[in-house]
């Protein structure tokens, strides 16, 4: 038992755990508890367990792993907690300690330390997977146009049948792209010569899903920025943001990935770092800082984080309180709704900016959902808890149905993957699009 490491990890969350007054407000906003209805899997129950571990850290055993893994890290509990308890930080610390004591499963170790950490290896692995994806049948509704004339954001959607249930269940996943984003665009992308130049340079951080599954989203985002008068630098040696690694407790690998990416993006000498991935944005703004313990690097990470913006955030800030001059790329008759990614709305508190854009562009054709909660994806949570993830997602799908919208717009490629699957599973006609693909400067 590595008692010294345990004590340091547990001590780091002592203050957060002790702030919990067991009022139970969090339970109403926890998507996992809403489905399981078991206090052991709610924020209050887990905090009760951890309070005991603060005094007796040797009691943190593998048997408790399931209780800590069944958390989406969505931030719903923290946002509603009257004490502001950071349950997400508590979960991350405990998962880190579980890994420190027991190590990673072999498959996770290979994935995190040899694939996600190395972008070239990841490209090779996905090229190999892409070579065999023809074996998976396409979903009945192929990429094309719906009755509204809206092209599919996801391109071809592959149906992963029961034959592969042990790997991914019966799912509908976007195909791996024939060419990746870093192969489609230049590293330096000057502003459109016909635009109102802003004398701004941004570094674009794409994230893995955009790089490998949705490269057209990255192209749209860069084009949107160029047409807005902004120079865009796309560093080709950027890698995975490390959120999946961090969320699964491999702190050291996540720390190495964070420092690598921060160095790469800093070398671009940009005024801002812009991303179109809510999960990556959360990592760049806060996740990386939480991984660096010594004061020097942590101060540098904090300075770096202050320059990070979600694309919706950047668009609204760039207008400098002037009227938004953006227009729809969709047909005139299309109704849209918006899904709040947890890492954007609850972790970064970016809620009004995407709505300001959509309300300006679509007017009364923008319809709010009555469920602004988590879609149930949660990255690796979706792989480890497939049935639970789908049940949580179904609540979101039913809310989409009630809007009668033609298009679901969001700013998280991970959410896009899960929403596409849910819509396909329910044989619905709605399309899922990224905000950057739905609007352009007017």
Kindly state the tokens that stand for 122: 């990841």
What's the rounded Cα separation, in Å, for the pair 142 and 320? 41
What pLDDT sits at residue 162? 44
What pLDDT sits at residue 355? 97
Q: SS3 string of 272-325?
A: EEEECCHHHHHHHHHHHHHHCCCHHHHHHHHHHHCCEEEHHHHHHHHCCCCCCC
* Plot region of 52 (φ>0 → left; ψ -120 to 50 → alpha; else → beta): alpha
Write the DSSP assignment of 331-385 as a string of letters. -TT--EEE---HHHHTSS---HHHHHHHHHHHGGGB---S--S--S-TTHHHHHS
Name the DSSP class of 39.
Answer: G
- Tens of each residue's pLDDT in the chain, 442 residues: 344 444 565 666 788 888 899 999 999 999 999 999 999 899 999 888 887 766 665 555 555 778 888 999 999 999 999 999 999 999 998 888 888 888 899 999 999 999 999 999 999 999 998 888 867 667 655 444 444 445 455 556 655 554 444 444 577 888 899 999 999 999 999 999 988 878 899 999 999 999 999 999 999 999 999 999 999 999 999 999 999 999 999 999 999 999 999 999 999 999 999 999 999 999 999 999 888 877 677 788 889 999 999 999 999 998 764 677 899 999 999 999 999 999 999 999 999 999 999 999 999 999 999 999 999 999 889 888 989 999 999 999 999 999 999 999 999 999 999 999 999 999 999 999 999 999 998 8
**In 3-state terms, what secondary structure has residue 240?**
coil
What pLDDT sits at residue 396? 96
Domains of the chain: 3-102 (1.10.1060.10), 181-317 (3.40.50), 320-441 (3.40.50)
**In 3-state terms, what secondary structure has residue 151?**
strand
- Under a CB-based contact definition with an 8 Å cutoff, are residues 30 and 386 in contact? no
- Under a CB-based contact definition with an 8 Å cutoff, are residues 203 and 265 in contact? yes
Tokens 């959360």 belong to residue:
282
Q: Say if strands 230-233 and 200-205 run parallel, antiparallel, or are unpaired.
A: parallel
Other beta carbons within 10 angstroms of residue 16's beta carbon come to 20
* Plot region of 379 (φ>0 → left; ψ -120 to 50 → alpha; else → beta): left
| Phi, psi angles (nearest 5°) of residue 152 | -70, 130
Of the chain, the end-to-end C-alpha distance in Å amounts to: 62
What's the rounded Cα separation, in Å, for the pair 45 and 53? 13
**Among candidate residues 348, 357, 351, the one with its CA nearest the CA of residue 309:** 348
| Phi, psi angles (nearest 5°) of residue 138 | -75, 150
What's the rounded Cα separation, in Å, for the pair 292 and 89? 14
């Amino acid at each position: 038992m590595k008692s010294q490491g345990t004590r340091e990890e547990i001590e780091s969350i002592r203050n957060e755990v002790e702030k919990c007054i067991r009022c139970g407000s969090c339970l109403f906003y926890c998507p996992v508890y809403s489905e399981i209805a078991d206090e052991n899997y709610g924020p209050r129950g887990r905090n009760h367990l951890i309070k005991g571990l603060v005094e007796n850290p040797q009691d943190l055993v593998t048997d408790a792993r399931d209780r800590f893994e069944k958390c989406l890290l969505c931030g719903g509990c923290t946002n509603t907690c009257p004490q502001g308890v950071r349950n997400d930080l508590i979960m991350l610390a405990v998962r880190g300690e579980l890994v420190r004591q027991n190590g990673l499963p072999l498959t996770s170790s290979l994935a995190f330390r040899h694939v996600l950490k190395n972008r070239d290896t990841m490209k090779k692995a996905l090229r190999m997977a892409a070579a065999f994806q023809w074996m998976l049948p396409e979903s009945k509704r192929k990429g094309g146009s719906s009755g509204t004339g809206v092209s599919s954001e996801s391109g071809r959607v592959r149906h992963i049948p029961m034959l592969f249930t042990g790997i991914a269940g019966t799912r509908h996943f976007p195909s791996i792209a024939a060419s990746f984003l870093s192969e489609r665009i230049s590293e330096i992308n000057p502003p459109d010569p016909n635009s109102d130049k802003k004398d701004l340079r941004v570094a674009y951080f794409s994230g893995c899903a955009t790089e490998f599954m949705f490269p057209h989203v990255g192209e749209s985002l860069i084009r949107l920025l160029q047409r807005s008068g902004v120079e865009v630098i796309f560093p080709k040696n950027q890698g995975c943001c490390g959120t999946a690694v961090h969320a699964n407790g491999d702190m050291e690998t996540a720390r190495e990935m964070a420092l690598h990416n921060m160095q790469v993006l800093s070398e671009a000498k940009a005024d801002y770092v812009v991303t179109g991935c809510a999960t990556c944005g959360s990592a760049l703004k806060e996740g990386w800082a939480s991984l660096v313990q010594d004061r020097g690097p942590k101060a540098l990470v904090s300075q770096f984080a202050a320059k990070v913006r979600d694309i919706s955030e950047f668009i609204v800030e760039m207008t400098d309180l002037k009227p938004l001059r953006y227009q729809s790329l969709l047909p005139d008759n299309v109704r849209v709704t918006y899904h709040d990614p947890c890492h954007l709305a609850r972790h970064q508190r970016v809620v009004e900016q995407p709505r300001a854009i959509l309300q300006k562009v679509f007017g009364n054709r923008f319809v709010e959902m009555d469920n602004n909660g988590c879609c149930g994806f949660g990255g690796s949570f979706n792989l480890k808890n497939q049935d639970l993830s789908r049940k949580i997602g179904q609540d979101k799908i039913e809310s989409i149905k009630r809007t009668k919208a033609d298009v679901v717009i969001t700013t998280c490629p991970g959410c896009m993957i899960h929403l596409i699957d849910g819509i396909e599973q329910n044989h619905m006609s709605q399309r899922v699009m990224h905000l950057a693909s739905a609007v352009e400067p007017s």
